[in-house]
Structure 1
């Protein structure tokens, strides 16, 4: 693929990126995935056209996966970008920070744990201070661990999943609102799991349903203030989340086959959706969930 505008057959795209059985400890990193089947974040292909010139964005989970692809795209579209990430993901974060800077934009690294409310408020404050303001917020960081039987799902895992995926979104958005002027945008990452929950992802799917509802309700609340809220719902996307316990290792080679395109999606294929929702091109799009899932039917 030359760039995201290249004419191509989507069913044949990324045909060489089929993961084998594997497991990554902790939250997983792109650096580890690169040793096997690396994900495509648009490093070599995303071509910007000034659609976010002068904007200031905060992206959680911006070190890898979807967040990394969005960070690269935003920078190449002209935005300064701050990324939040776990300290253990420093290697990935340094690479993305370098790519933002290579695009000629300011890059801000903000390591920490978003399950802590105090850090969430600090994250926003530091982003605003370093960027000189804030007008795009992307709540993207997520936790996903497969658990086959509800009786094996611990209180701690359930709590950590909701704190990462839902509570952090609330804490960060609430802290960001005083800084967002009319024309600003909030984009939350939900999932196909909100519509087609997998039996082994009951707790994760529940958080994604909550994100959907939160986004639509907040969109109505903020519309009159000129702040747009929308969501993106990915299907199966090849990110560290998946081999780091998001799916059972033996299922990884087959997960993408459930899509009509018959393959995993790549983070680079999500970035244009986030660019569209952040740009003025989507000025009349509010409370929308934009599905990027390879054709999986949704209500």
Structure 2
């Protein structure tokens, strides 16, 4: 493996991390011209300020969608994503708030309806992860917080969005390769990502009669702010080395999977998971 596919050692002291502090900057720009596959649609993206969320927001905007971003407190990153969405000629609504609070999720959906008059696509993407070297180090507080962000928040947003999603609407959940392979030091995070796979499959069946599709994307190692905010500098430097392609993926290599699942191209697909993970073979 050549050094030019790895990133320099670095870390950040708070989650979910800040994209503006990363070296090199993740590549979130869409790589191809749009074709209006989401023209006239309104999308709400949690964790939309940076990383995969930013890349999805820009890809959706290029395909014609209006964008609403729900993020925790990374205001500089959110403003930059807003600027980039508007540069695509699309409207963008930015909303700070913790998805682990159901009242905030209800209010966020209300703001989307108040600003845009509709909601067609929900992308549940916000997440946090914390390493523990041994199960005995996993505190009740961390366990509850990780599940509240990574699972409860997905349910809260889906529940709030459901009365507004039309026939043909789409919910896309971000799970992870760790749902299938596990992770030695991300015990609670991996458990939440497994729960998201089960949630996706259950919701897809529950909402079938309403014509709403529910799918998920399970990224492998992607270069996002969550990485330097989660791991030691040495770990960060080798992030992505374990997959067959030998490198971390960029957010704009993941975003097309969300565009596909949100569009009519995926009209016969529900309850499924797409795996942009650098070549790892994953069982279903």
Q: Deviations over 1:198-236 (max 9, x none)?
A: 110110000000000000011011111110000000000
- Tell me the secondary structure at the aligned position of residue 187 of structure 1: strand
Query: Which ranges of structure 2 fall in alignment gaps of 5 or more residues?
Result: none
Q: Does 1:154 align with 2:143?
A: no
Q: Does 1:82 align with 2:68?
A: yes
Q: Does 1:231 align with 2:220?
A: no
Deviation of the 1:254 alpha carbon: 1.9
Q: Does 1:70 align with 2:56?
A: yes
**C-alpha RMSD of the superposition:** 1.4
Counterpart of 1:92 in structure 2 is 77
Q: Does 1:61 align with 2:47?
A: yes
Counterpart of 1:40 in structure 2 is 27
Inter-partner Cα distance in structure 2 for 1:48 and 1:165? 31
For residue 20 of structure 2, the aligned residue among 25, 28, 31 is 31
1:243-282 alignment, distance < 5 Å = 243-245=228-230, 247-282=231-266
- Tell me the secondary structure at the aligned position of residue 39 of structure 1: coil
Deviation of the 1:16 alpha carbon: 3.7
Counterpart of 1:294 in structure 2 is 278
- Tell me the secondary structure at the aligned position of residue 199 of structure 1: coil
Deviation of the 1:159 alpha carbon: 0.8
Inter-partner Cα distance in structure 1 for 2:33 and 2:221? 24
Q: TM-score, normalised by structure 1?
A: 0.91
Inter-partner Cα distance in structure 2 for 1:74 and 1:269? 14
Deviation of the 1:280 alpha carbon: 0.1
Gap change, CA 1:46 and 1:163, over 3 Å in 2: farther
1:113-128 alignment, distance < 5 Å = 113-128=98-113
Q: TM-score, normalised by structure 2?
A: 0.96
Q: How many residues align?
A: 282
Deviation of the 1:46 alpha carbon: 4.3
Gap change, CA 1:154 and 1:97, over 3 Å in 2: same
Inter-partner Cα distance in structure 1 for 2:239 and 2:45? 27
- After superposing on structure 2, the runs of 4+ consecutive aligned residues of structure 1 that deviate more than 2 Å are none
Deviation of the 1:248 alpha carbon: 3.2
Query: Which ranges of structure 1 fall in alignment gaps of 5 or more residues?
Result: 1-10
Kindly indicate whether the alpha-carbon contact (under 8 Å) linking 1:18 and 1:37 is maintained by their aligned counterparts in 2.
no
Q: Deviations over 1:96-151 (max 9, x none)?
A: 10111111111001111112111111111111211211000000010011111111
Deviation of the 1:17 alpha carbon: 4.9
- Tell me the secondary structure at the aligned position of residue 239 of structure 2: helix
Bigger shift: 167-176 or 126-135?
A: 126-135
